[in-house]
Chain A
Amino acid sequence: MDRKISIVLAGLGGQGVITATNILGKAAVNANINVYASEIHGMAQRGCSVICTVRMGNVSGPLLATGTADAMLCTEPIEALRYIQYANKKTKIITDVTPVIPFTVSIGLQEYPDIEYVFEEIRSYAKLYTLDALKISKNAGAPISKNIVMLGALAASGVLPFPSNVLLETILDTVPQKYKEINKKAFEEGLKAFQPYKPIKIKRRK
């Protein structure tokens, strides 16, 4: 493959960002496409912001330059904005709509911005696609499959250089036997849920 495809995966430690990165890379290898990915471990594990990158095709390493992402897959909305420097006008930013409130906000030190305002800001940089991946994953049978819902949406975005069934097969190869059904459903529902952002009202907390 002569071109380069760069994807940023952002979210929080514990949301399966690293697993999704690994699956995406394995799928590229299965499709015979050159691929590199980067992860940050260690301090990033405990509810902190996590960024991973995947680059496919004619690339030498996993890091991308600012403004060169083809897609950004975000499991938390403000994390999309935290790494927005990688986006350009054509970048497809796919994000879950459910905010996770940081501790700094819970104890009143900082503020979590208004979510519609966050989405409007993202739209001033790139193309925005939103989905309620948490709800979809719960319906699929386990909220932990949220990252797989997100991968489904990414597969529907047309950014990936291989068919969506390659990604699904890689997912099913990776997850334990007893979770295969849940993850299959999560992926397929994610595929259907890929759509441009429409202003919606979001409940912050139960």
Chain B
Amino acid sequence: MELVEVQTGKTMFLLGNEAITRGALEAAVDVATTYPGTPSSEIADTFSAIAKYHKRQGKKPPFYFEYSTNEKVALEIAAAASFCGLRALTCMKHVGLNVASDAFMAYLYAGSKGGHIIVSADDPYCHSSQNEQDNRYFALFGNAPMLEPTTPQEAKEMTRVGFDISEELQLPVLLRTTTRLNHARGPVMVKKPRKPRGKGYFKKDPSVLVLHPATARERHLVLLQKLEEAENISDKSSFNEIIKCGKPSSMGIVTSGVSYNYVREVADDLKLDVSILKLGMTHPLPRKICETFINSCKEIIVVEELEPILENQFKTIAYDIGADVKIYGKSTGHFSRLYEYNPDIVTEIISKIFKIKNPLSKPRKVKIQLPSRPPILCPGCSHRATYYAAKKASPKGTIYPSDIGCYGLGKAPPLEMADLLICMGSNAGTAVGFAISTDQKIISFMGDSTFFHAGIPPIIDAVHHNHDCTITILDNRTTAMTGHQPHPGSEYDGMGRSAKLIKVEDVVKGLGVEHIEIVDPNNIKETTSAFKRALDFRGPAVVVSKAPCILLELQRKRVSGKKKSVYFIDQENCNQCKTCIDKFGCPAFYYAENGTIYIDEMQCNGCGNCVQICPFDAIKQKGERK
């Protein structure tokens, strides 16, 4: 495995996320924890791959790594490791920090001991998220030092150096990234990984670590003092630098993260005379550098994606020092608070402010209407069968609260089995709310990983108050959408070791749910009956729909040399009722030019569920043909 074998002095071509993991190895990380989520997943997946690589070699991995139950648990585990003097890293997607925020906010009061990096992978443009919240606010909100890398090389360096900053300040450091850094590849000069300590020792210090009100009041003061110290670090940090382009000029650009890449190329391409303040440590800001920069400029353009966080701070500093400077940004209407930036947006706005003709021309519209390729459930996905059965069982007007995961794709026609989706675990919480607010029937859906993550408390609520709703757990034994990571219902862990498999139905039983249906969704008739019984039950009912993810099934078949079975339509029997296309919606079906329906053998993953839904027995397994 290249990422482990290459020791030092070589330039590797790494994903931003891989570079973060490499940086942690070079800083001798002892403990790494996560809950998977795009665009952060590959940081943890790389730790997992390295641990498994060591296991295959018969060696002990140099660190402990786990996919934790949720982000809050992940953060708490890593915090305890830090309290023992170990170095720890916790990574998550931006919304994961909402889940972990209860721990995050007070942890900063307690302060860390061993270096601790918390990676927040933000997702401007919502490439694969329910919102595009700007987690830089969390650094300001909780008073955490923050680093923002521009390139994979910087991501590695900031992770490595971030551990030192964390130990110097005795505070966890927020490494804030965005999709275009996490999923960008670039050259990374690697250094030698260092040997971690392995085990630490917890020295008791309740006057600091037990955050009772009296302690908390003192610790808040300490936190603010640490932040002053952090400002000094920021002022001396080489991650904050001024880059002069062209001739000396009173025009300035302030930027951070991936926005710097666009700014830099625009400055070069348009041959601008401008000073660029590139901020890498963005909280606390390097006050002295910022003041000097403001004083050297008559006009400043702030280029930052999403919220006007640098912009507002620069205005405050400019006001404080009485500087006569014009600041362009979001409040002046030049830049948007929406979505990702790109070279086009930055070129257009900067050339406008510099009163230069924008060299980029707007392309004309394509004359041909292109068909779309929306994400849909895979052919053979067992969720499709569960949805088909649930829909068949439910009366008109039934509400289907959904959740975060592949099954959210059930929103698409013809299934249309997602009516509401807010966040992890919200399916069951909102199901309870609907139960008290309307007489409509309710069937909610969540995956098994989501169940363990945030789905249990709302079920307890439903049981305790006897709310009349049906909650479905789609148990495919994996965290499928983020790349098939294991979870508490898996028989192995992130390091490839065997782990205690926790059965969803055992937990549900333990919660006191009185009506539990355990079904194989690939038996559609039985599953439909189970949903009917669950709906008839007065009170909370849980349906556990158990079938493995088809992609993992196919992988197992490939490894064991088995061929997938495929199905075909016996045209003599086909009545073209279109149930397979208009109701079931498996993407392996298609209309031929003459209107007859076929199954694409390349696409068919051989689940055979369409055989059960065809009213005319027209679908047959290949080889059955007479």
Stretch at the interface among B52-60, B101-109, B504-512, B584-592: B584-592
Are A84 and B366 within 8 A (Cβ)?
yes
- Chain A hits for B262, CB < 8 A: 60-61, 63
Distance (Å) between the CB of B217 and the closest chain A CB?
43
The chain B residue sitting closest to A101, CB to CB, is: B590
CB < 8 Å neighbour of A103 from B361, B367, B482, B587: B587
Q: List the A side residues contacting B376 at CB < 8 Å.
A: 46-47, 103
> B186–A35 contact, CB under 8 A?
yes
Are A63 and B343 neighbours in the complex by a CB distance under 8 Å? yes
Q: Is B563 an interface position by the 8 A CB rule? A: no
Per-residue contact bits, chain B 574-608, to A (CB 8 Å; 1 contact, 0 not): 00000001100101011110000000100000000
Contact A112 B371, CB 8 Å, known A42-B128, A43-B127, A43-B128: yes
CB distance from A125 to the nearest CB of B (A): 8
CA distance A111 to B371 in the complex (A): 6
Listed stretches B177-185, B224-232, B392-400; interface member? B177-185
Rounded to whole Å, the gap between the CB of A177 and the closest CB of chain B is 15
Decide if A47 touches B587 in the complex (CB within 8 Å): yes
Residue B372 at the chain A interface, CB threshold 8 Å: yes
Q: Which residue of B lies closest to A37 (CB)?
A: B185
Interface residues of A in 27-69 (CB under 8 A from B): 28-29, 34-44, 46-49, 58-68
Distance in angstroms from A109 CB to nearest chain B CB is 8
Cβ contact within 8 Å between A22 and B371: no
Do A63 and B127 touch across chains, with their CB atoms under 8 A apart? no
Question: Does A60 lie within 8 Å of B264, measured CB to CB?
Answer: yes
B151 and A61 contact, CB distance less than 8 A: yes
Q: Does A199 contact B (CB under 8 A)?
A: no
Alpha-carbon separation in the docked complex, A14 to B185 (Å): 19
Partner of A48, one of B39, B186, B375, B591: B375
Complex interface residues of chain A between 85 and 136 (CB less than 8 A to chain B): 85, 87, 101-108, 110-113, 117-118, 121, 125
Complex Cα gap A192–B180 (Å): 35
B1 at the interface (CB under 8 A from A): no
* Given A61-B265, A62-B186, A46 contacting B368 (CB threshold 8 A): no
- Once the chains are docked, how many angstroms separate the CA of A121 from the CA of B362? 17
Q: How far is the CB of A113 from chain B (nearest CB, A)?
A: 5
CB–CB A82/B370 < 8 A: yes
- Contacts A22-B185, A63-B261 given; indicate if A111 touches B39 (C-beta within 8 A): no
A152 is an interface residue with CB less than 8 A from chain B? no
When distances are taken between beta carbons in the complex, the residues of chain B under 8 Å from A21 are: 185
Interface presence of B360 (CB below 8 A): yes
Q: Does A156 contact B (CB under 8 A)?
A: no
Q: Closest chain B residue to A22 by CB distance?
A: B185
Q: Are A41 and B373 in contact (CB under 8 A)?
A: no
A66 touches which of B187, B363, B592 (Cβ 8 Å): B363
What is the CB-to-nearest-CB distance from A205 to chain B, in angstroms, rounded to a whole number?
8
Q: Is the CB of A42 within 8 A of B591?
A: no
Chain B residues whose C-beta falls within 8 Å of the C-beta of A40 in the assembled complex: 127, 179, 183
Q: A43 contacts B591, CB within 8 Å? A: no
A38 touches B183 (CB 8 A): yes
Q: What residues on A are CB-neighbors of B179 within 8 Å?
A: 40
Q: Which residue of A lies closest to B582 (CB)?
A: A107
Q: Give the residue name and chain of the A residue nearest to B11 (CB).
A: A29
Bound: A64/B185 CA distance, A: 14
| Chain B residues, CB < 8 A from A112 | 371
> How far is B360's CA from A46's CA once the two chains are assembled, in angstroms?
33
Knowing A61-B184, A107-B585 touch, does A113 contact B370 (C-beta < 8 A)? yes
Chain B residue with the shortest CB-CB distance to A26? B13
In the assembled complex, the CB of B340 is this many whole angstroms from the nearest CB of chain A, namely 9
Chain A CB count within 10 A is highest, among B265, B376, B582, for B265
Contact between B38 and A36, CB atoms less than 8 A apart:
no
Q: Give bound CA distance, A110 to B180, whole Å.
A: 32
Does B258 touch A at the CB level, under 8 Å? yes
Task: Decide if B265 touches A104 in the complex (CB within 8 Å).
Answer: no
* A190 close to chain B: CB less than 8 A: no
Q: Closest Cβ of chain A: how far from B129's Cβ, in Å?
A: 9
Contact at B373–A47, with CB atoms within 8 Å? yes
Interface of B is mostly: loop
Closest to B261 in A: A61
Cβ-defined contact, A42 with B127, below 8 A: yes
Residues in B whose Cβ lies below 8 Å from that of A59: 265
A36 touches B587 (CB 8 A): no
B83 at the interface (CB under 8 A from A): no
Cβ–Cβ < 8 Å partners of A107 in chain B: 581-582, 585, 589-591
Determine if B438 is an interface residue (Cβ-Cβ < 8 Å). Answer: no
Query: In angstroms, how far is the closest chain B Cβ from the Cβ of A116?
Result: 11
Cβ A41 vs Cβ B183 within 8 A: yes
Chain B residues 223 to 277 lying within 8 A of chain A, measured CB to CB, are: 258, 260-262, 264-265, 268
Chain B residues whose CB sits within 8 angstroms of the CB of A105 once the complex forms: 371, 590
**Measured CA separation A63–B264 after assembly (Å):** 12
Taking a contact as CB atoms closer than 8 A, the residue among A38, A84, A106, A205 that contacts B587 in the complex is: A106
A112 to B591, CA, bound (A): 12
Inter-subunit contact A35/B591 (CB<8 Å): no
Contact mask B164-191 → A, CB, 8 Å, 1/0? Answer: 0000000000000001100111110000
The residue in chain A whose Cβ has the minimal distance to the Cβ of B591 is: A108
Please state if A67 and B38 are interface contacts (CB–CB under 8 Å).
no
Say whether B184 contacts A46, CB under 8 Å.
no
What 0/1 readout, one digit per residue, does chain B (120-150) give for beta carbons within 8 Å of chain A? 0000000110000000000000000000001
- Distance from B571 Cβ to chain A, minimum over Cβ atoms (Å): 15
Shortest distance in angstroms between A49's beta carbon and chain B's nearest beta carbon?
A: 5
Q: Is the CB of A41 within 8 A of B342?
A: no
Contacts of B368 in A (CB 8 A): 81, 113, 117-118, 121
Please state if A121 and B261 are interface contacts (CB–CB under 8 Å).
Answer: no
Q: Answer whether residue B91 sits at the interface, using C-beta atoms and an 8 A cutoff.
A: no
Tell yes or no: A12 within 8 A of B by CB. yes
When the two chains form the complex, which single residue of B15, B38, B371 contacts A102, counting CB atoms closer than 8 Å?
B371
Q: Considering residues A22, A38, A64, A101, which has the most beta carbons from chain B within 10 angstroms of its beta carbon?
A: A38
Asked if residues B371 and A110 are in contact (CB atoms below 8 Å), the reply is yes
CB distance from A5 to the nearest CB of B (A): 14
CA distance A139 to B276 in the complex (A): 54
Shortest distance in angstroms between B245's beta carbon and chain A's nearest beta carbon? 12
Contact B39 A41 (CB under 8 A): yes
A35 touches B13 (CB 8 A): yes
Q: Min CB distance, A148 to chain B, in Å?
A: 18
**B100 at interface, CB cutoff 8 A:** no
- What is the distance, in angstroms, from B271's C-beta to the closest C-beta of chain A? 14
Q: Which residues of A contact B186 (CB under 8 A)?
A: 35-37, 62
- Give Cα distance in the complex from A169 to B13, angstroms: 15
Interface of chain B residues 335 through 349 with chain A (CB within 8 A): 342-344, 347
12 contacts between A and B (CB under 8 A): A29-B13, A36-B186, A38-B183, A41-B39, A62-B184, A62-B185, A66-B344, A81-B366, A102-B373, A104-B374, A107-B582, A121-B367
6 cross-chain pairs, A with B, having the tightest CB-CB distances, nearest first? A61-B261, A42-B128, A106-B590, A42-B38, A65-B343, A103-B587
Q: Which residues of A contact B (CB under 8 A)?
A: 12, 21-22, 25-26, 28-29, 34-44, 46-49, 58-68, 78, 81-82, 84-85, 87, 101-108, 110-113, 117-118, 121, 125, 205
17 further A-B contacts with Cβ under 8 Å, apart from A42-B39, A81-B366, A106-B581, are: A25-B13, A25-B185, A40-B179, A40-B183, A41-B42, A46-B376, A46-B378, A47-B587, A62-B186, A64-B343, A65-B342, A66-B344, A67-B361, A84-B363, A87-B363, A106-B591, A117-B368
